[in-house]
């Protein structure tokens, strides 16, 4: 099976940088995705890591360490619109796809 | 077109009703997914179709019955549901079953009375 852990809540101010961590335990692992979900909305894809290292997409970056079963999402230059829930999700060679419990990010003015 | 559409947006049904949820995408994606999401919880994978064949069924009760009529359409047939089945049902699609970049529809908010 697969299980993922994330902090339940993170708070930061506009313009700041925030890191959301994700640890996973899986019987098989292919890659780690990150999704954003605003209240009342659908999840939207942010980033994906299959290999160790950092992937950068605009203000968002994601990191993976397969040896540590650990990844994080880094959000820079925070904006109010970034207030949302963020989920890491692990896929297991296309056999399964499991979301973490989610981290609620609140961005304060 | 990078959109996944779902109908209806809201559905209220009794425990003896039969209803269907519909999902459509025109991105040429060959994998489609059904998820269930309860309030303040992550999406939970229910079914995966890959090339119009059911490839994953996450031990979902038989009162939920998926169908993939063609590569663009995905249905979820509902019958004899329980109140605890009330949730947001999300459809998603991806290029293939590897599935890391999934495009989600807006969901159907289901209430079972």
Q: How far apart are CA B58 and CA B45, in angstroms?
A: 7
Instruction: Give the confidence band of B57 by pLDDT, cuts at 50, 70, 90.
Output: confident
Contact A72, A80 (CB under 8 A): no
Contact B36, B43 (CB under 8 A): yes
Contact A69, A24 (CB under 8 A): yes
Q: Which of A30, A48, A98 sits opposite B101 (nearest CB)?
A: A48
| Strand, helix or coil for residue A4 | strand
> What is the average pLDDT value for chain A, to the nearest integer?
93
Q: How far apart are CA B78 and CA A86, in angstroms?
A: 30
Q: Which of B44, B99, B104 sits opposite A43 (nearest CB)?
A: B104
Q: Tell me which of A96 and A37 has the higher pLDDT.
A: A37
DSSP code of residue B96:
S
First-last CA distance in chain B: 36
pLDDT at A96: 75
Task: Tokens for B4, please give them.
Answer: 């996944």
Instruction: Give the confidence band of A2 by pLDDT, cuts at 50, 70, 90.
Output: confident
pLDDT at A76: 97
Interfacial residues of A (vs B; Cβ cutoff 8 Å): 30-31, 33, 41-45, 48, 50, 87, 91, 94-102
Name the maximum alpha-carbon separation found in chain A.
Answer: 42
- Between β-strands A103-108 and A9-13, what pairing exists: parallel, antiparallel or unpaired? parallel
Instruction: Give the confidence band of A93 by pLDDT, cuts at 50, 70, 90.
Output: confident
pLDDT at B18: 95
Would the pLDDT of B5 be above 70? yes
Instruction: Give the confidence band of B96 by pLDDT, cuts at 50, 70, 90.
Output: confident
Which of B112, B67, B68 is closest to B88 using CA atoms?
B112
Mean per-residue pLDDT, A45-71: 94
Residue in chain A closest to B54 (alpha carbons) equals A95
| CB pair distance less than 8 Å for A94 and B97 | yes
pLDDT at A95: 67
Kindly report the nearest CA distance between residue A97 and chain B, in angstroms.
Answer: 7
Instruction: Give the confidence band of A1 by pLDDT, cuts at 50, 70, 90.
Output: low
Mean per-residue pLDDT, B64-75: 95
| CB pair distance less than 8 Å for A87 and B43 | yes
């Amino acid at each position: 099976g697969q299980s993922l852990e994330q902090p339940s809540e993170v708070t930061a101010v506009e313009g700041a940088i925030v890191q959301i961590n994700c640890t996973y335990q899986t019987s098989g692992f292919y890659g780690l995705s990150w999704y954003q979900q605003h209240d009342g909305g659908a999840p939207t894809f942010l980033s994906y890591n299959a290999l160790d290292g950092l992937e950068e997409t605009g203000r968002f970056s994601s990191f993976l360490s397969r040896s540590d079963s650990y990844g994080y999402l880094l959000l820079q230059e925070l904006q109010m619109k970034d207030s949302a829930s963020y989920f890491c999700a692990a896929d297991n060679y296309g056999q399964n796809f499991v979301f973490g419990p989610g981290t609620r990010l609140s961005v304060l003015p | 077109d990078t959109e996944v559409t779902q109908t209806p947006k809201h559905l209220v049904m009794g425990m003896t009703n039969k209803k269907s949820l519909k999902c459509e995408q025109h991105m040429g994606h060959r994998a489609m997914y059904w998820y269930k999401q309860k309030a303040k919880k992550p999406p939970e994978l229910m079914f995966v179709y890959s090339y119009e064949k059911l490839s994953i069924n996450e031990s979902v009760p038989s009162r939920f019955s998926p169908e993939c009529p063609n590569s663009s359409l995905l249905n979820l047939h509902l019958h004899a549901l329980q109140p605890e089945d009330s949730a947001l049902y999300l459809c998603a699609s991806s290029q293939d079953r590897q599935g890391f970049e999934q495009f989600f529809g807006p969901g159907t908010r289901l209430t079972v009375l």
